[in-house]
Amino acid sequence: MTTIQEVHKQSIDNPDAFWGEQARLVDWHKPFTQTLDFSRPPFAKWFVGGETNLCYNAVDRHAAKRPNDRALVYISTETDEEKVYSFAELQREVERMAAIMLGLGVGKGDRVLIYMPMIAEAAFAMLACARIGAIHSVVFGGFASGSLATRIDDAAPKLIVSSDAGMRGGKAVPYKHLLDEAINLAANKPAKVLMIDRGLDKGFNKVDGRDVDYATLRAQHMDAQVPVTWLESSEPSYIPYTSGTTGKPKGVQRDTGGYAVALASSMKNIFCGGEGETMFATSDIGWVVGHSYIIYGPLIAGMCTIMYEGTPLRPDAGIWWHIVEKYKVNVMFSAPTAARVLKKQDPAYMHKYDLSTLKHLFLAGEPLDQPTHEWIMGELKLPVIDNYWQTETGWPMLSQMPGIEQKPLKFGTPSFPVYGYNLKIFREDGSICDANEKGIVGIMPPLPPGCLSTVWGDDARFVSTYFSLFKEPQVYSSFDWGIRDEEGYHYILGRTDDVINVAGHRLGTREIEEAVQAHPAIAEVAVVGVADQVKGQMPMAFAVVKDAAKVATPELKQALEKEVMKKVDEILGAIARPGRVHFVTVLPKTRSGKLLRRSIQALAEGRDPGDLTTIEDPAALEQLKSALGA
C-alpha cells in the first residue's frame, strides 16, 4: 500500500512524472508537450502546449457517456423550488447560455462578471464562460455596491450576468439597484447586463440598450449548439477575489489545464468522490469553495452536485440532512461556522435522517476548534476532515487524503501537506522551523497546478505580495502562522497580522480562542489584541454563550467571565488571559463566515472599524459597541 508520505515525496522529487500521471484524469484536446515550465520563477506554467476546456471536462464528456445521469440538483428552501438536471440537460442549458453570451459580443478572453444568487442559472453562466473561453469573475450576490464597483473596475467585464434578487430567510434581497449603483460608480462600464428575472422584485429598473432579458434570449436559442473553445493550459479560466478579511481583495488569476488536473486529482485522492456519486458543498458560488467544490470539482469527476439556496436552519435545522438522505449524498463540504450554528440546535434533527451514504464531511475556511470538531464527529459518526487552503491555491494545501490512506484524525489540525505542495513552516529569517516550533506557513516554489498563476493584470503585485517574505529563499507566503508536530500534523495558529504581543510574548489569537472555547458554556469567540499602556497589547475576548440564561444578569456575566479567564490560565498561562471577556449573541463576520478581527480590534481600541461592506450582520457591530460601552 502507498502512504501519503510516499505520494507527497514523489510529487516533490519528481513533479513531471507525478503530475503527468494525474493529468490523465482530464481529457485533452491536444496533449501537452512539457509538464512544467518554471523558467521564470515564481511563475509556474503547467502542462505547456496542452489544450483543454473546463466545461468540456465538467459536462460534455459525461453527457456523451451518461446523458441521463444526474448532474446538478438545484434546491431552494427560499422559493421552495427543486430541479434536477441530467448531464444532457445541463449541457443544453450551458449551450443556450453560451449562445446568448456570444450573441452579446462576448468572446475568448473577455471578462464576464457574475453577480448572482445561488440559482442554477449561475452555474450555467460559469460553465458557459468556460465553454467559450470567456473569463468569469463571480462576485458574491448581495455585496454592496462599493465592493461590487471595485471588482467591476478591476475585472473590466464586457458583460455582467445578474438577477433581480436573492432570497435570505424568506425575504427577497433586491440586487438590481445595487448593481446599477455599482456600474454608476465604476469607471469600466459593461456594455451589456443579462438579467435573470426571478419575479422576486417586480419593479426593478431596466436600462434601455444595456439590460437584456435572459428568458427572452433563451427562447431564441433553444436548439443552440456551441462548440467548445479549446484553451492552452495556461490561459486564464476565471478570477475569484479573496474574501477581503485583511483588507482590499486581490484578483486571483486561475489557469485552465492546471486547475482541471488539480481538481480532478483532489476529487479522487482527498474527497473520495467519483462517477455517479453526489456531492453537497454548502458554500456559495461567490467563494472559492463554490468554484472548486460546488461547480468544477464534482462535475469534472462526473458527480452530481447540489446547489442549495437557503440557510441551514430553515424550515428547520434538519434541512441539510434531509437533502443528504433524499439525494444519497456521498461527500459533504461545509465550514466550521456552519458546524457551530448546528451545534446550538437539537442534534435530534440530524438523527432523524438516513445519513448512511455519507462517507466524509470536509470543513474549511477558518480554524475548526476542538469542541466543535469533536461534537460534530460524535454526532455524525464519520470522519470530519478539517482542510486548510486559500482562494489563491484553489484546492487544499493541508488535509487528510483518505483516497490514498486514512491516517488517524487529530482534533485541531488540518493534518498533512497535500501532495504537490512543498509546504514548510518558516522562521522569520527564512530558515525552516523544527517540530513544535511556530512559524509562517510557506510553500517552496513552484506552486502546484491549480494555484493562482498571477494577480489579475499585475504580475509585479503577484511577486511582491506573495513572494517577498525573505530575500532568500523565494517562498510563497500564506500569511498564516502554523506549527508541525513530531508526527507531521500541522496546526494553523491564525494570520500573521493577528498576533497579540503581550509584554513581548507573541500569542496567536487562535490559541487564546481555543482556550476560551474549552469552557463548556462558550459556543464561539473572537479574541483581538487591544493597545495597553503597560503590556503593549492585551487580549480581549468577545464570546457567544450556548445558553443565554448563563449571562442573564450582571452577576452571572461576571462569574462566567472569571471562569473563562481561569480556563485560559489553566491552558495557556496567565500571560494569555484576556483583560475582559464580553458576551454578545453574534460576532461580526464576512459573508463567507470569517471573523472581521480588524474591525473588532479597531472598535475595541475606539477607532473607525474601516470598510464593512463585506459584513454579514451589521447588528453584530452594534452589540460590540454596546458591550464595550458597558
Does residue 246 belong to the site contacting ligand ATP (CB under 6 A)?
yes
Count, residues near ligand ATP per rule CB under 6 A: 23
Segment 260 to 299, residues that bind ligand ATP, using CB under 6 A? none
Closest to 164 (Cα-Cα) out of 126, 196, 128: 196
Give the one entry of Mg ion, ligand ATP, none that residue 386 binds, where binding means its C-beta sits below a cut-off of 5 to 8 angstroms depending on kind.
Answer: ligand ATP
Pick the stretch among 201-209, 238-246, 430-438, 577-585 that binds ligand ATP (CB under 6 A).
238-246
The residue ranges of DSSP E strands in 325-379, in sequence order, are 331-334, 360-364
**x/- binding map, residues 347-386, to ligand ATP, per CB under 6 A?**
-----------------xxxxx-----------------x
Region of 186 (left: φ > 0; alpha: ψ -120 to 50; beta: rest) is beta
Nearer to ligand ATP, 147 or 245 (CB): 245
Query: Going by DSSP bridges, is the β-strand pair 231-232/51-52 parallel, antiparallel, or unpaired?
Result: antiparallel
Measured CA to CA, the distance from residue 46 to residue 58 in angstroms comes to: 19
Nearer to Mg ion, 247 or 457 (CB): 247
Nearer to ligand ATP, 35 or 243 (CB): 243
Whether 527 and 539 have beta carbons less than 8 Å apart is answered as yes
Measured CA to CA, the distance from residue 457 to residue 152 in angstroms comes to: 13
Is the torsion defined by CA of 294, 299, 301, 302 positive or negative?
A: positive
Closest to 128 (Cα-Cα) out of 151, 152, 153, 99: 99
Nearer to ligand ATP, 158 or 598 (CB): 598
Give the one entry of ligand ATP, Mg ion, none that residue 594 binds, where binding means its C-beta sits below a cut-off of 5 to 8 angstroms depending on kind.
Answer: ligand ATP
Does residue 242 belong to the site contacting ligand ATP (CB under 6 A)?
yes
Q: What b-and-e string marks burial along 83-122, b requiring 16 or more CB atoms within 10 Å of the CB?
A: eebbbbbbbbbbbbbbbbbbebebeeebbbbbbbbbbbbb
Nearer to ligand ATP, 247 or 315 (CB): 247
Region of 251 (left: φ > 0; alpha: ψ -120 to 50; beta: rest) is beta
Whether 420 and 46 have beta carbons less than 8 Å apart is answered as no
Query: What is the closest distance, in whole angstroms, from the C-beta atom of residue 288 to Mg ion in the complex?
Result: 10
Residue of 110, 121, 255, 480 that binds ligand ATP (CB under 6 A): 480
Neighbouring CB atoms inside 10 A of 567's CB total 19
Nearer to ligand ATP, 330 or 393 (CB): 393
Query: What is the closest distance, in whole angstroms, from the C-beta atom of residue 337 to ligand ATP in the complex?
Result: 11
Q: Check whether the bond before 41 is cis (ω within 30° of 0).
A: no
Query: What is the closest distance, in whole angstroms, from the C-beta atom of residue 242 to Mg ion in the complex?
Result: 5
Nearer to ligand ATP, 321 or 388 (CB): 388
Does residue 450 belong to the site contacting ligand ATP (CB under 6 A)?
no
Whether 584 and 619 have beta carbons less than 8 Å apart is answered as no
**x/- binding map, residues 577-596, to ligand ATP, per CB under 6 A?**
---------------x-x--
Whether 98 and 226 have beta carbons less than 8 Å apart is answered as yes
Give the one entry of ligand ATP, Mg ion, none that residue 388 binds, where binding means its C-beta sits below a cut-off of 5 to 8 angstroms depending on kind.
Answer: ligand ATP
Does residue 94 belong to the site contacting ligand ATP (CB under 6 A)?
no
Neighbouring CB atoms inside 10 A of 475's CB total 23
Query: What is the closest distance, in whole angstroms, from the C-beta atom of residue 625 to Mg ion in the complex?
Result: 27
Residue of 127, 281, 492, 507 that binds ligand ATP (CB under 6 A): 492
Residue of 162, 282, 391, 601 that binds ligand ATP (CB under 6 A): 391
Whether 241 and 249 have beta carbons less than 8 Å apart is answered as yes
Three-class DSSP category at 437: coil
Query: What is the closest distance, in whole angstroms, from the C-beta atom of residue 142 to Mg ion in the complex?
Result: 21
Write down the residue that cell numbers 448532474 correspond to. Answer: 71
Nearer to Mg ion, 437 or 497 (CB): 497
Nearer to Mg ion, 305 or 391 (CB): 391
Q: What is the DSSP string of 542-553?
A: EEEES-GGGGSS
Identity of the residue numbered 333: F
- Judging by beta carbons within 10 Å of its beta carbon (0-12, 13-18, 19+), is residue 576 exposed, middle or buried? buried
- Order the strands of the 211-213 sheet from edge to edge: 135-140, 111-116, 159-163, 192-196, 211-213
Count, residues near Mg ion per rule CB under 5 A: 1
Query: What is the closest distance, in whole angstroms, from the C-beta atom of residue 514 to ligand ATP in the complex?
Result: 11
Exposure of 232 in the CB half-sphere (CA atoms within 13 A): 8
Segment 225 to 254, residues that bind Mg ion, using CB under 5 A? 242
Nearer to ligand ATP, 59 or 289 (CB): 289
Query: What is the closest distance, in whole angstroms, from the C-beta atom of residue 605 to ligand ATP in the complex?
Result: 20
Is the torsion defined by CA of 266, 76, 358, 417 positive or negative?
A: positive
**CB-nearest residue to Mg ion:** 242
Does residue 251 belong to the site contacting ligand ATP (CB under 6 A)?
no
Three-class DSSP category at 623: helix
Nearer to ligand ATP, 495 or 519 (CB): 495
Which three three-digit cell numbers place residue 454? 498571477
Residue of 243, 311, 454, 509 that binds ligand ATP (CB under 6 A): 243
**x/- binding map, residues 393-432, to ligand ATP, per CB under 6 A?**
---------------------x------------------
Residue of 234, 415, 478, 517 that binds ligand ATP (CB under 6 A): 478
Nearer to Mg ion, 15 or 365 (CB): 365
Nearer to ligand ATP, 157 or 365 (CB): 365
**x/- binding map, residues 547-576, to ligand ATP, per CB under 6 A?**
------------------------------
Which residues bind to Mg ion, rule: CB under 5 A? 242
Which residues bind to ligand ATP, rule: CB under 6 A? 242-246, 249, 364-368, 386-388, 390-391, 414, 478, 480, 492, 495, 592, 594
